[in-house]
Amino acid sequence: MEKLSTKYLGLTLRSPLIVSSSRLTSTLGHLREAEDNGAGAVVLKSLFEEQINYYVHAISSTSGYPEADDYISNYVHSNSVYNYLEMIRQAKKDLSIPVIPSVNCYTAKGWTDFARNIAEAGADALEINVFFLPVDRKKTPEESEKLYFELIENIKKTIKIPVVLKIGFRFTNILYMLDQFYNRGVNGVVMFNRFYEPDIDVDKLEIIPATVLSHEIERRYVLRWVAMASAQKIRIDISASTGVHSGQDAVRYILAGANSVQVCSVLYNKGISYLKNMNQQIAGWMDEKGFGSIDEFRGKLNYANYHNPDVFERTQFMKYFSSYE
The total domain count for the chain is 1
Per-residue pLDDT, 78: 45
Residue 14 predicted with pLDDT over 60: yes
Out of 6-15, 199-208, 300-309, the most confident range is 6-15
Average pLDDT in the chain: 88
Per-residue pLDDT, 76: 47
Residue 225 predicted with pLDDT over 90: yes
The contacts of residue 93 (CB under 8 Å, 6+ apart) are none
The contacts of residue 200 (CB under 8 Å, 6+ apart) are 206, 207, 208
Q: 276 near 38, Cβ under 8 Å?
A: yes
R_g of the chain computed on alpha carbons: 21
31-70 b/e (C-beta count within 10 Å ≥ 16 → b): bebbbebbbbbbbbbbbbbebbbebbeeeeeeeeeeeeee
Relative to beta strand 126-130, strand 163-167 is parallel
**pLDDT band (50, 70, 90) for residue 313:** confident
**pLDDT band (50, 70, 90) for residue 185:** very high
pTM of the model: 0.89
Spatial distance between the Cα atoms of 57 and 47, rounded to a whole number of angstroms: 16
Per-residue pLDDT, 51: 79
Please report, for residues 38, 72, 81, 86, 239, the alpha-carbon distance to residue 32 in angstroms, rounded to integers and kept in the order given. 10, 32, 21, 15, 22
Per-residue pLDDT, 87: 97
Full domain range(s) for residue 296: 2-321
pLDDT tens digits for 34-93?
A: 999 999 999 999 998 877 876 666 655 544 545 545 544 454 444 688 899 999 999 999
Indicate which CATH number applies to the domain containing 95. 3.20.20.70
Lowest mean pLDDT across 184-198, 244-258, 267-281 = 184-198
Judged by phi (left if over 0) then psi (alpha if -120 to 50, else beta), residue 181 lies in alpha
